[in-house]
Amino acid sequence: MQATASAHCLHLLSSFTPAAFTAGGSACRRRNAAAPATVRMALREDGPALAVVGVTGAVGQEFLRVLSDRDFPYRNLRLLASRRSAGRRIEFEGREYVVEELREESFAGVDVALFSAGGSVSREMGPAAVERGVVVVDNSSAFRMDPGVPLVIPEVNPDAMTHIRLAGRAKGALIANPNCSTIICLMAATPLHRHAKVVRMVVSTYQAASGAGAAAMEELEEQTREVLDGKQPTCKIFKQQYAFNLFSHNAPVLSNGYNEEEMKLVKETRKIWNDKDVKVTATCIRVPVMRAHAESVNLQFEKPLDEETARQILKGAAGVVVIDDRASNHFPTPLEVSNKDHVAIGRIRRDLSQEGNLGLDIFVCGDQIRKGAALNAVQIAEMLL
Protein backbone atom coordinates (compact mmCIF):
# COMPACT_ATOMS: atom_id res chain seq x y z
CA MET A 1 0.00 0.00 0.00
CA GLN A 2 2.81 2.43 0.83
CA ALA A 3 4.43 1.99 -2.58
CA THR A 4 1.06 2.52 -4.27
CA ALA A 5 0.40 5.68 -2.26
CA SER A 6 3.87 7.01 -3.06
CA ALA A 7 3.36 6.39 -6.76
CA HIS A 8 -0.01 8.14 -6.63
CA CYS A 9 1.49 11.19 -4.89
CA LEU A 10 4.26 11.42 -7.44
CA HIS A 11 1.74 11.13 -10.28
CA LEU A 12 -0.18 14.09 -8.87
CA LEU A 13 2.99 16.08 -8.36
CA SER A 14 4.15 15.44 -11.91
CA SER A 15 1.19 17.47 -13.17
CA PHE A 16 2.72 20.55 -11.52
CA THR A 17 6.40 20.22 -12.29
CA PRO A 18 8.37 23.47 -12.50
CA ALA A 19 9.22 22.73 -16.12
CA ALA A 20 5.55 23.02 -17.00
CA PHE A 21 5.61 26.62 -15.81
CA THR A 22 9.12 27.86 -16.57
CA ALA A 23 10.50 26.09 -19.62
CA GLY A 24 10.95 27.94 -22.88
CA GLY A 25 9.66 26.89 -26.28
CA SER A 26 6.28 25.23 -26.33
CA ALA A 27 5.45 26.28 -22.76
CA CYS A 28 5.30 29.88 -23.93
CA ARG A 29 2.52 28.93 -26.32
CA ARG A 30 0.63 26.55 -24.00
CA ARG A 31 -3.03 27.43 -23.56
CA ASN A 32 -5.42 24.62 -24.22
CA ALA A 33 -4.15 21.45 -25.82
CA ALA A 34 -7.51 20.89 -27.51
CA ALA A 35 -7.71 24.39 -29.00
CA PRO A 36 -7.16 24.70 -32.76
CA ALA A 37 -4.04 26.45 -33.99
CA THR A 38 -4.53 30.15 -34.69
CA VAL A 39 -2.42 32.85 -36.31
CA ARG A 40 -1.24 35.29 -33.64
CA MET A 41 -1.84 38.92 -34.51
CA ALA A 42 0.08 40.59 -31.66
CA LEU A 43 3.09 41.42 -33.88
CA ARG A 44 1.93 44.75 -35.34
CA GLU A 45 3.67 47.77 -36.77
CA ASP A 46 1.56 50.10 -34.63
CA GLY A 47 2.53 48.35 -31.39
CA PRO A 48 5.29 49.43 -29.01
CA ALA A 49 8.82 48.03 -29.09
CA LEU A 50 8.88 45.63 -26.14
CA ALA A 51 11.64 44.16 -23.97
CA VAL A 52 11.35 41.40 -21.35
CA VAL A 53 14.12 41.49 -18.75
CA GLY A 54 14.76 38.28 -16.85
CA VAL A 55 13.00 36.25 -19.53
CA THR A 56 14.44 32.87 -18.51
CA GLY A 57 13.05 33.01 -14.97
CA ALA A 58 9.64 31.79 -13.80
CA VAL A 59 8.01 35.23 -14.03
CA GLY A 60 9.85 36.08 -17.25
CA GLN A 61 8.44 32.99 -18.91
CA GLU A 62 5.00 33.86 -17.57
CA PHE A 63 5.35 37.33 -19.12
CA LEU A 64 5.55 35.62 -22.51
CA ARG A 65 2.52 33.43 -21.86
CA VAL A 66 0.42 36.38 -20.70
CA LEU A 67 1.52 38.59 -23.61
CA SER A 68 0.46 35.86 -26.00
CA ASP A 69 -2.78 35.04 -24.19
CA ARG A 70 -3.85 38.68 -24.25
CA ASP A 71 -2.65 39.46 -27.79
CA PHE A 72 -0.54 42.32 -26.47
CA PRO A 73 0.52 44.36 -29.52
CA TYR A 74 4.23 44.82 -30.19
CA ARG A 75 6.21 45.73 -33.29
CA ASN A 76 9.34 43.98 -32.08
CA LEU A 77 10.44 42.01 -29.05
CA ARG A 78 13.77 41.84 -27.27
CA LEU A 79 14.45 39.06 -24.76
CA LEU A 80 17.06 39.97 -22.14
CA ALA A 81 18.70 38.05 -19.31
CA SER A 82 22.03 37.55 -17.54
CA ARG A 83 25.24 36.64 -19.31
CA ARG A 84 24.72 33.04 -18.15
CA SER A 85 21.44 32.80 -20.08
CA ALA A 86 22.53 34.76 -23.14
CA GLY A 87 22.43 32.73 -26.34
CA ARG A 88 19.48 30.57 -25.33
CA ARG A 89 16.84 30.23 -28.00
CA ILE A 90 13.17 30.71 -27.17
CA GLU A 91 10.29 30.15 -29.56
CA PHE A 92 7.46 32.63 -29.13
CA GLU A 93 4.40 33.01 -31.34
CA GLY A 94 5.96 31.14 -34.23
CA ARG A 95 9.29 32.96 -34.18
CA GLU A 96 12.61 32.02 -32.65
CA TYR A 97 14.37 34.59 -30.49
CA VAL A 98 17.91 34.55 -29.12
CA VAL A 99 18.23 35.73 -25.52
CA GLU A 100 20.58 38.72 -25.31
CA GLU A 101 22.79 39.70 -22.39
CA LEU A 102 21.29 42.61 -20.49
CA ARG A 103 23.26 45.83 -20.97
CA GLU A 104 22.39 49.52 -20.76
CA GLU A 105 22.48 49.75 -24.55
CA SER A 106 19.91 46.93 -24.74
CA PHE A 107 17.16 49.55 -24.34
CA ALA A 108 17.91 51.58 -27.46
CA GLY A 109 14.66 51.90 -29.41
CA VAL A 110 12.57 50.15 -26.72
CA ASP A 111 9.26 51.68 -25.61
CA VAL A 112 8.17 49.35 -22.79
CA ALA A 113 10.28 47.00 -20.66
CA LEU A 114 8.88 44.36 -18.32
CA PHE A 115 11.42 43.68 -15.57
CA SER A 116 11.63 40.58 -13.36
CA ALA A 117 15.30 40.03 -12.67
CA GLY A 118 15.60 40.94 -8.99
CA GLY A 119 16.01 44.17 -7.08
CA SER A 120 19.73 44.71 -7.71
CA VAL A 121 19.30 44.42 -11.49
CA SER A 122 16.27 46.72 -11.39
CA ARG A 123 18.11 49.35 -9.36
CA GLU A 124 20.98 49.34 -11.86
CA MET A 125 19.18 48.89 -15.15
CA GLY A 126 15.76 50.44 -14.47
CA PRO A 127 17.00 54.05 -14.35
CA ALA A 128 19.29 53.36 -17.32
CA ALA A 129 16.28 52.27 -19.34
CA VAL A 130 14.24 55.28 -18.23
CA GLU A 131 17.05 57.60 -19.34
CA ARG A 132 16.66 56.10 -22.81
CA GLY A 133 12.95 56.92 -22.87
CA VAL A 134 11.63 53.51 -21.79
CA VAL A 135 8.59 53.00 -19.57
CA VAL A 136 9.70 50.32 -17.13
CA VAL A 137 7.20 48.07 -15.33
CA ASP A 138 9.26 46.56 -12.54
CA ASN A 139 8.29 43.42 -10.65
CA SER A 140 10.95 43.76 -7.93
CA SER A 141 10.76 45.60 -4.61
CA ALA A 142 13.41 48.13 -5.69
CA PHE A 143 11.11 51.11 -6.33
CA ARG A 144 7.81 50.18 -4.68
CA MET A 145 8.10 52.58 -1.78
CA ASP A 146 9.69 55.40 -3.78
CA PRO A 147 7.17 58.26 -3.46
CA GLY A 148 7.78 59.26 -7.08
CA VAL A 149 7.04 55.79 -8.49
CA PRO A 150 3.42 54.63 -8.88
CA LEU A 151 2.65 51.28 -7.22
CA VAL A 152 -0.24 49.93 -9.27
CA ILE A 153 -2.87 47.21 -9.34
CA PRO A 154 -5.00 48.14 -12.38
CA GLU A 155 -8.30 47.02 -10.81
CA VAL A 156 -7.47 48.86 -7.56
CA ASN A 157 -5.68 52.17 -8.21
CA PRO A 158 -5.37 52.85 -11.95
CA ASP A 159 -5.43 56.61 -11.32
CA ALA A 160 -1.94 56.38 -9.81
CA MET A 161 -0.45 56.12 -13.32
CA THR A 162 -2.76 58.28 -15.42
CA HIS A 163 0.09 60.75 -16.00
CA ILE A 164 2.18 58.07 -17.77
CA ARG A 165 1.37 57.17 -21.36
CA LEU A 166 3.33 56.06 -24.41
CA ALA A 167 1.68 58.44 -26.86
CA GLY A 168 3.55 61.74 -27.04
CA ARG A 169 5.82 60.97 -24.11
CA ALA A 170 9.03 62.96 -23.88
CA LYS A 171 10.81 60.74 -21.37
CA GLY A 172 10.71 57.35 -19.73
CA ALA A 173 9.13 56.39 -16.43
CA LEU A 174 9.10 53.74 -13.73
CA ILE A 175 5.97 51.91 -12.56
CA ALA A 176 6.22 49.34 -9.76
CA ASN A 177 4.37 46.05 -9.56
CA PRO A 178 3.30 45.34 -5.94
CA ASN A 179 4.36 42.22 -4.09
CA CYS A 180 2.39 39.10 -5.01
CA SER A 181 0.77 38.70 -1.59
CA THR A 182 -0.29 42.37 -1.62
CA ILE A 183 -1.89 42.08 -5.06
CA ILE A 184 -3.86 38.95 -4.15
CA CYS A 185 -5.01 40.44 -0.84
CA LEU A 186 -6.06 43.83 -2.20
CA MET A 187 -7.91 42.39 -5.18
CA ALA A 188 -10.29 40.94 -2.57
CA ALA A 189 -10.22 43.64 0.08
CA THR A 190 -10.46 46.77 -2.08
CA PRO A 191 -14.07 46.39 -3.32
CA LEU A 192 -15.15 46.06 0.33
CA HIS A 193 -12.87 48.93 1.37
CA ARG A 194 -14.55 51.21 -1.18
CA HIS A 195 -17.94 50.41 0.30
CA ALA A 196 -17.29 50.45 4.06
CA LYS A 197 -13.65 51.67 4.54
CA VAL A 198 -11.25 49.20 6.09
CA VAL A 199 -9.69 50.56 9.28
CA ARG A 200 -7.79 47.39 10.26
CA MET A 201 -6.71 44.32 8.31
CA VAL A 202 -5.14 41.12 9.67
CA VAL A 203 -3.61 38.83 7.02
CA SER A 204 -2.17 35.33 7.30
CA THR A 205 -0.58 34.06 4.09
CA TYR A 206 0.10 30.51 2.91
CA GLN A 207 2.65 31.03 0.16
CA ALA A 208 3.64 28.57 -2.55
CA ALA A 209 7.07 27.57 -3.81
CA SER A 210 6.53 29.65 -6.95
CA GLY A 211 7.01 32.79 -4.87
CA ALA A 212 10.66 31.84 -4.37
CA GLY A 213 11.26 31.13 -8.06
CA ALA A 214 11.80 28.18 -10.36
CA ALA A 215 14.65 26.75 -8.27
CA ALA A 216 12.40 26.55 -5.20
CA MET A 217 9.71 24.77 -7.22
CA GLU A 218 12.31 22.27 -8.39
CA GLU A 219 13.52 21.78 -4.82
CA LEU A 220 10.00 21.06 -3.58
CA GLU A 221 9.56 18.43 -6.29
CA GLU A 222 12.97 16.89 -5.59
CA GLN A 223 12.40 16.81 -1.83
CA THR A 224 8.97 15.24 -2.23
CA ARG A 225 10.46 12.39 -4.25
CA GLU A 226 13.31 11.98 -1.77
CA VAL A 227 11.04 11.86 1.28
CA LEU A 228 8.66 9.39 -0.36
CA ASP A 229 11.69 7.22 -1.20
CA GLY A 230 12.87 7.35 2.42
CA LYS A 231 15.88 9.54 1.63
CA GLN A 232 17.20 12.64 3.38
CA PRO A 233 15.81 15.73 1.58
CA THR A 234 18.20 18.01 -0.30
CA CYS A 235 17.99 21.56 1.13
CA LYS A 236 19.57 24.22 -1.09
CA ILE A 237 17.08 27.06 -1.53
CA PHE A 238 15.62 26.72 1.96
CA LYS A 239 17.60 25.81 5.07
CA GLN A 240 15.07 23.21 6.19
CA GLN A 241 12.85 20.50 4.78
CA TYR A 242 10.09 21.97 2.63
CA ALA A 243 8.25 18.86 1.46
CA PHE A 244 5.49 17.80 3.89
CA ASN A 245 6.32 20.80 6.09
CA LEU A 246 5.59 24.48 6.49
CA PHE A 247 7.54 27.30 8.10
CA SER A 248 7.70 31.03 8.59
CA HIS A 249 8.40 32.84 5.32
CA ASN A 250 12.08 32.75 4.44
CA ALA A 251 12.40 36.55 4.11
CA PRO A 252 14.83 38.19 6.58
CA VAL A 253 13.36 39.01 10.01
CA LEU A 254 13.59 42.68 11.00
CA SER A 255 14.26 44.25 14.40
CA ASN A 256 10.51 44.68 15.02
CA GLY A 257 9.99 40.90 14.74
CA TYR A 258 8.19 41.09 11.38
CA ASN A 259 9.89 39.68 8.29
CA GLU A 260 10.31 41.68 5.10
CA GLU A 261 7.42 39.91 3.36
CA GLU A 262 5.04 40.90 6.14
CA MET A 263 6.17 44.51 6.11
CA LYS A 264 5.66 44.67 2.34
CA LEU A 265 1.97 43.95 2.93
CA VAL A 266 1.80 46.68 5.57
CA LYS A 267 3.60 49.40 3.65
CA GLU A 268 2.32 48.62 0.16
CA THR A 269 -1.33 48.54 1.28
CA ARG A 270 -0.99 52.01 2.76
CA LYS A 271 0.59 53.37 -0.42
CA ILE A 272 -1.85 51.72 -2.84
CA TRP A 273 -4.90 52.77 -0.82
CA ASN A 274 -3.32 56.20 -0.18
CA ASP A 275 -4.19 55.77 3.50
CA LYS A 276 -1.33 56.07 5.98
CA ASP A 277 -3.69 55.44 8.89
CA VAL A 278 -5.05 52.01 7.90
CA LYS A 279 -3.82 49.42 10.38
CA VAL A 280 -2.35 46.29 8.79
CA THR A 281 -0.63 43.30 10.37
CA ALA A 282 0.50 40.12 8.67
CA THR A 283 1.99 36.68 9.28
CA CYS A 284 3.51 35.04 6.20
CA ILE A 285 4.04 31.29 5.98
CA ARG A 286 5.69 29.18 3.28
CA VAL A 287 3.65 26.03 2.51
CA PRO A 288 4.50 23.02 0.31
CA VAL A 289 2.26 24.02 -2.59
CA MET A 290 3.82 24.28 -6.04
CA ARG A 291 1.96 27.32 -7.34
CA ALA A 292 -0.62 29.90 -6.12
CA HIS A 293 -0.87 31.58 -2.74
CA ALA A 294 -3.70 31.47 -0.20
CA GLU A 295 -4.53 34.15 2.36
CA SER A 296 -6.83 34.43 5.35
CA VAL A 297 -7.95 38.05 5.68
CA ASN A 298 -9.79 39.61 8.61
CA LEU A 299 -11.28 43.05 7.94
CA GLN A 300 -12.56 45.66 10.36
CA PHE A 301 -14.70 48.44 8.86
CA GLU A 302 -15.56 52.01 9.68
CA LYS A 303 -19.14 51.49 8.44
CA PRO A 304 -21.30 48.35 8.80
CA LEU A 305 -21.13 45.76 6.02
CA ASP A 306 -23.10 42.54 6.27
CA GLU A 307 -21.84 39.35 4.66
CA GLU A 308 -24.53 39.10 1.97
CA THR A 309 -23.87 42.65 0.78
CA ALA A 310 -20.16 41.87 0.80
CA ARG A 311 -20.79 38.74 -1.28
CA GLN A 312 -22.73 40.73 -3.88
CA ILE A 313 -20.04 43.43 -4.01
CA LEU A 314 -17.37 40.81 -4.64
CA LYS A 315 -19.43 39.05 -7.31
CA GLY A 316 -19.54 42.32 -9.23
CA ALA A 317 -15.85 43.18 -8.79
CA ALA A 318 -13.38 42.99 -11.66
CA GLY A 319 -10.76 40.26 -11.64
CA VAL A 320 -12.26 38.14 -8.87
CA VAL A 321 -14.56 35.15 -8.63
CA VAL A 322 -16.56 34.07 -5.58
CA ILE A 323 -16.33 30.38 -4.58
CA ASP A 324 -18.37 30.21 -1.41
CA ASP A 325 -20.47 27.04 -1.25
CA ARG A 326 -21.09 26.26 2.40
CA ALA A 327 -23.42 23.33 1.69
CA SER A 328 -20.71 21.48 -0.25
CA ASN A 329 -17.84 22.88 1.85
CA HIS A 330 -16.34 24.15 -1.39
CA PHE A 331 -14.10 27.19 -1.16
CA PRO A 332 -11.02 28.51 -3.01
CA THR A 333 -7.92 26.30 -3.31
CA PRO A 334 -4.51 26.93 -4.88
CA LEU A 335 -5.11 24.18 -7.43
CA GLU A 336 -8.29 25.84 -8.69
CA VAL A 337 -6.57 29.16 -9.36
CA SER A 338 -3.27 27.85 -10.75
CA ASN A 339 -2.73 29.24 -14.26
CA LYS A 340 -5.88 31.37 -13.86
CA ASP A 341 -6.15 35.15 -14.17
CA HIS A 342 -8.76 35.67 -11.47
CA VAL A 343 -8.41 35.81 -7.68
CA ALA A 344 -10.86 33.52 -5.91
CA ILE A 345 -12.66 34.54 -2.70
CA GLY A 346 -14.66 32.44 -0.26
CA ARG A 347 -15.38 31.74 3.43
CA ILE A 348 -17.18 35.11 3.52
CA ARG A 349 -18.57 35.44 7.03
CA ARG A 350 -19.20 37.97 9.76
CA ASP A 351 -16.46 38.29 12.35
CA LEU A 352 -18.28 37.26 15.52
CA SER A 353 -15.65 38.91 17.72
CA GLN A 354 -16.71 42.38 16.54
CA GLU A 355 -19.89 44.30 17.28
CA GLY A 356 -22.62 44.39 14.66
CA ASN A 357 -21.47 44.15 11.04
CA LEU A 358 -18.15 45.92 11.47
CA GLY A 359 -15.98 42.91 10.66
CA LEU A 360 -15.65 40.16 8.05
CA ASP A 361 -13.43 37.15 7.47
CA ILE A 362 -12.58 36.01 3.94
CA PHE A 363 -10.27 33.41 2.38
CA VAL A 364 -8.46 34.28 -0.84
CA CYS A 365 -6.42 32.32 -3.41
CA GLY A 366 -4.53 33.66 -6.40
CA ASP A 367 -1.84 32.52 -8.82
CA GLN A 368 1.34 34.14 -7.57
CA ILE A 369 3.15 33.97 -10.90
CA ARG A 370 0.20 35.16 -12.95
CA LYS A 371 -1.97 37.83 -11.26
CA GLY A 372 0.58 38.15 -8.47
CA ALA A 373 3.29 39.12 -10.95
CA ALA A 374 3.20 38.74 -14.75
CA LEU A 375 -0.46 39.41 -15.49
CA ASN A 376 -0.53 42.50 -13.29
CA ALA A 377 2.55 43.88 -15.06
CA VAL A 378 1.11 43.25 -18.53
CA GLN A 379 -2.17 44.88 -17.48
CA ILE A 380 -0.16 47.92 -16.45
CA ALA A 381 1.54 47.92 -19.86
CA GLU A 382 -1.88 47.70 -21.54
CA MET A 383 -2.93 50.87 -19.72
CA LEU A 384 -0.04 52.71 -21.38
CA LEU A 385 -1.35 52.08 -24.89
185 is catalytic: no
Q: Give every CB contact of residue 34 below 8 A, 6+ residues apart in sequence.
A: none
180 is catalytic: yes
Whether 281 contacts 248, CB under 8 Å: no
The total of other beta-carbon atoms located within 10 Å of residue 246's CB is: 12
Strands (E), 126-197: 135-138, 173-176
Gap between the Cα atoms of 94 and 234, Å rounded = 38
List residues bridging with 295 in a β-sheet.
205, 364
Among 180, 185, 284, 365, the one annotated catalytic? 180
**Local structure of 45: helix, strand or coil:** coil
Gap between the Cα atoms of 214 and 220, Å rounded = 10
Among 249, 293, 342, 365, the one annotated catalytic? 293
Q: Per residue in 77-87, is it b (16+ CB within 10 Å) or e — as a string?
A: bbbbbbeebbe
The total of other beta-carbon atoms located within 10 Å of residue 289's CB is: 23
Q: Where are the alpha helices (DSSP H) in 80-134?
A: 119-131
**Local structure of 165: helix, strand or coil:** coil
Q: Indicate which residues carry an active-site annotation.
A: 180, 293
